[in-house]
Amino acid sequence: MNIVKAKMEDSTYILSLIKQCVEVMNRRGNDQWDEYYPNMDVINDDIESGDLYILKDNHHIQGIITLNDKQEKEYLDIQWEYSEGRQLIVHRLAISPNYQGRGLGDKLMQFAEEKARELGYDSIRLDTYVKNKKAIYFYEARDYIKRGNLYFSHRKDPFIAFEKKL
């Protein structure tokens, strides 16, 4: 099992993994993602920028994570505790439903934290949908602190902003 940068030839498999995750999320009452987002354009942009990483075992993509320092403008409304230095932002963490419950999300977040330290970041920021109870619990268990709610114009329910000092 290893974590590597995604390549363009991985994009179809990544989109399939996302669609599978959307189905599971919707069954659980979580409409954070849908048939429009994340889409192939988002995936291709992440790959082209070198920000998308895949967790692979043999030839199976088990999970994905996007890491960069691109913050949505709504992040400006949050009272972050760690404003000094550089912040790595986690986007689009997903584990294939076929591999959930095996600690792979922890492996990807551990990778993100190690990569952030290696690249000289001082903290990590991320957000998740208020209805995504599983993700909220996951980040809290990894010592991420809630910093407030984000309100995106295209969503009626807020997202929760999280932060962790490295």
Residue 52: pLDDT over 90: yes
Sheet with 2-5, strands from edge to edge, namely 2-5, 52-57, 60-68, 87-95, 123-129, 159-165, 145-150
- Label the pairing between strands 123-129 and 87-95: parallel
- Backbone torsions φ then ψ of 61, nearest 5 degrees: -85, 115
Question: Given the structure tokens 């913050």, which residue do they identify?
Answer: 71
* Residue 94 clears pLDDT 90, i.e. is over it: yes
Tally the residues of the chain: 166
| CA distances in angstroms from 84 to 37, 45, 123, 124, listed in the order given | 31, 28, 9, 12
Name which residue leads in pLDDT, 59 or 82. 82
- Does the pLDDT of residue 1 top 90, yes or no? no
pLDDT band for 97, please (50, 70, 90 cuts): very high
Share above pLDDT 90 across residues of the chain, in percent, rounded to a whole number: 93
Looking at residue 65, its pLDDT comes to 98
Longest Cα pair distance anywhere in the chain, in angstroms?
43
Q: 48: pLDDT confidence band, cut at 50, 70 and 90? A: very high
Inter-CA distances, 23 with 16, 58, 90, 119, 134, Å: 11, 25, 22, 35, 15
pLDDT of residue 154: 80
